[in-house]
Amino acid sequence: MLTYSFEEKGPEPLYVYLARCIKNDIISGAILPGEKLPSKRAFAKNLGLSVITIENAYGQLLDEGYLYSVEKSGYYASDVKENIRKKKTPVGEENLVLTGGKTRFLCDFSSNAVEPSLFPFSVWSRLLRDELSKDRDRLMEAPPAGGVYYLREAIASYLKEFRNMDVTPQQIIIGGGTEYLLGLLVQLLGFGKIYAVTDPGFEKIGKIYESCGAACRFLPASEEDTFVRDLQKNNIDVLHVSPSHHYPLGSRIPLSRRYELLSWAEGGDRFLIEDDYDSEMRAEGRPLPTLFSIDAGSRVVYLNTFTKTLASTIRISYMVLPEPLVKAFYDRLSFYACTVSNFEQYTLARFIDEGYFEKHLNRCRTYYKKKREFLQEMLLQSRLGTKGELLQTDAGLHFLLKVHSKKSEERLVKDALEKGVKIVPLSAFYHCKGDGEENVYVLNYSFEGEAALQKGVDVLAEII
């Protein structure tokens, strides 16, 4: 039977620690897919814990997709690797990617979460404390549907200063994450419209449109002008794009094609959703103007989030609506209460307004630049220097590694995982399976520290 030592347990609850131990064993393969876990009673006896602790740990793992239960039989380990390979119902995987968490990976290149230690705890705590002691009345006063006005003003000034965008606070709508805002957008733009995302891309975005009841097409990302023809051929009404930084390709849309997209949108009741999610972290090069700022026809909705610049667990995103949609929003959707708590809206507003956000971004950019250079240097100095190739090296919080190896992609992913390193191939981001170049990997470097990255490079160099 499974046995774990509880000596290394920190201040976390027992069940959390136990769940983590089991999770790690499932990921590392120590517990095989389909393997039955001990009964709660027997396991509890064996570990000297209460049945309820085991129950809680199993419960959490069920939640996260690491276990599944069979009625009247018991608990079984899910096929997590299968998920990685097939990119199917990635419940557990996705949590993992988003979480980072304390897994037993030596190095996890799949997480594009920000490094938790970068979160400005002391300033944030001070501002929050200050709000809680000084401005109690405003904390208790429900804001309008778009969010706390002070925060929207702070964002408007920020957008003016750093993205050269002229927007009024009224155009800005605050929400508890980009996903929630996309749901609102479908309600605003219409269920009958045909939405499109690029393939490859964040599969989640397409899923959200579909889950909200809209049709969504996956159009091959392309730097050719065939893309606009594809939009027309497929009768697309709304295109979701990240012009400053495509994930995972890392490319950006050149200015001439931005105008083409705007021209396409002008040709009908069409809209562009400009998802500018990590433009703040863009490493090098002069930024191009946003679609929103060169849109004279009120066809662009601009989306951005603080989950990538502050912490993924602070759920604050915003969208900027063009004027006609502002009116439609207030007419039709202002009965919705803003989903973000006042406490965090005011704290963030002050964080931006008092200049801390700018300092924080500068600090992050410098830090990530150093880390990126370190990782790229390590890669080039290793066997990968001749057996691999770095692509899109200056895009943002990830770049691409093309590996020249006789091993198949599937094999390399598995070999790396067995040595504790998690890499995700570019092909996994394709909705149309089989597309995408073989043996190109998406290396996210934001989450791991230098020591882990070094170990990751060592393993990759060894297995190719």
From 226, 232, 263, 334, residue interacting with its own copies (rule: CB under 8 A):
334
* 123 contacts: CB under 8 Å, gap ≥ 6: 351, 356
Compute the distance between CA of residue 28 and CA of residue 19 in angstroms, rounded to an integer.
14
* Residue 358 interacting with its own copies (CB under 8 A): no
399 bridge partner residues: 443
Q: Could you write out the DSSP letters of every residue in 308-344?
A: TTT-TTS--EEEE--HHHHHHHHHHTTTSPPSS-HHH
Question: What does DSSP assign to residue 17?
Answer: H
The interface with its own copies within residues 313-332 (CB under 8 A) comprises: 313-316, 330-332
Compute the distance between CA of residue 278 and CA of residue 307 in angstroms, rounded to an integer.
9
The interface with its own copies within residues 294-313 (CB under 8 A) comprises: 311-313
At 400 the three-state DSSP class reads strand
At 243 the three-state DSSP class reads coil
Compute the distance between CA of residue 39 and CA of residue 315 in angstroms, rounded to an integer.
37
Region binding its own copies by CB under 8 A among candidate stretches 27-35, 206-214, 253-261, 438-446 = 206-214
- Whole-angstrom CA distances from 127 to 136, 211, 313, 343 are 13, 38, 18, 10
Is the Cβ of residue 138 or residue 365 nearer to its own copies in the bound state? 138
Least distance from its own copies to the Cβ atom of residue 11, Å: 7
Is the Cβ of residue 281 or residue 403 nearer to its own copies in the bound state? 281
From 32, 132, 255, 432, residue interacting with its own copies (rule: CB under 8 A):
132
* Residue 141 interacting with its own copies (CB under 8 A): yes
State the amino acid at position 424 in one-letter form: V
Least distance from its own copies to the Cβ atom of residue 387, Å: 34
Least distance from its own copies to the Cβ atom of residue 66, Å: 11
* Residue 176 interacting with its own copies (CB under 8 A): yes
Beta strand ranges found along 341-438 (DSSP E): 388-391, 398-403, 421-422, 424-425
Compute the distance between CA of residue 374 and CA of residue 389 in angstroms, rounded to an integer.
16
* Residue 179 interacting with its own copies (CB under 8 A): yes
* Residue 49 interacting with its own copies (CB under 8 A): no
Region binding its own copies by CB under 8 A among candidate stretches 23-31, 43-51, 61-69, 382-390 = 61-69
State the amino acid at position 200 in one-letter form: P
From 5, 7, 70, 335, residue interacting with its own copies (rule: CB under 8 A):
335
Least distance from its own copies to the Cβ atom of residue 120, Å: 11
425 prior amide bond cis, ω within 30: no
Region binding its own copies by CB under 8 A among candidate stretches 23-31, 143-151, 252-260, 263-271 = 143-151
The interface with its own copies within residues 371-410 (CB under 8 A) comprises: none
Q: Please give the size of the binding site for its own copies, defined by CB under 8 A.
A: 84
* Residue 339 interacting with its own copies (CB under 8 A): yes
318 bridge partner residues: 174, 304
Compute the distance between CA of residue 194 and CA of residue 190 in angstroms, rounded to an integer.
9
Is the Cβ of residue 313 or residue 408 nearer to its own copies in the bound state? 313
Cβ–Cβ < 8 Å for 343, 135: no
Is the Cβ of residue 64 or residue 276 nearer to its own copies in the bound state? 64
Least distance from its own copies to the Cβ atom of residue 180, Å: 6
The interface with its own copies within residues 209-268 (CB under 8 A) comprises: 211-213
* Residue 191 interacting with its own copies (CB under 8 A): yes
- Whole-angstrom CA distances from 314 to 45, 93, 306, 307 are 39, 21, 7, 6
Least distance from its own copies to the Cβ atom of residue 6, Å: 18
Q: Tell me the CB-side half-sphere exposure of residue 25, using CA atoms within 13 A.
A: 18
From 76, 180, 356, 367, residue interacting with its own copies (rule: CB under 8 A):
180
Is the Cβ of residue 6 or residue 191 nearer to its own copies in the bound state? 191
Cβ–Cβ < 8 Å for 416, 463: yes
Compute the distance between CA of residue 319 and CA of residue 302 in angstroms, rounded to an integer.
5
* Residue 337 interacting with its own copies (CB under 8 A): yes
From 3, 5, 8, 11, residue interacting with its own copies (rule: CB under 8 A):
11
Is the Cβ of residue 338 or residue 421 nearer to its own copies in the bound state? 338
Region binding its own copies by CB under 8 A among candidate stretches 341-349, 378-386, 394-402, 408-416 = 341-349
Least distance from its own copies to the Cβ atom of residue 444, Å: 15
From 38, 120, 146, 248, residue interacting with its own copies (rule: CB under 8 A):
146
From 215, 333, 380, 390, residue interacting with its own copies (rule: CB under 8 A):
333
Region binding its own copies by CB under 8 A among candidate stretches 180-188, 222-230, 231-239, 433-441 = 180-188
Compute the distance between CA of residue 60 and CA of residue 58 in angstroms, rounded to an integer.
5
The interface with its own copies within residues 88-127 (CB under 8 A) comprises: 89-91, 94-95, 98-102, 113, 116, 119, 121, 124-125
Closest CA to 402 of 422, 385, 421, 377: 385
Q: Give the largest CA-CA distance in the chain.
A: 69
Closest CA to 428 of 445, 452, 415, 412: 412
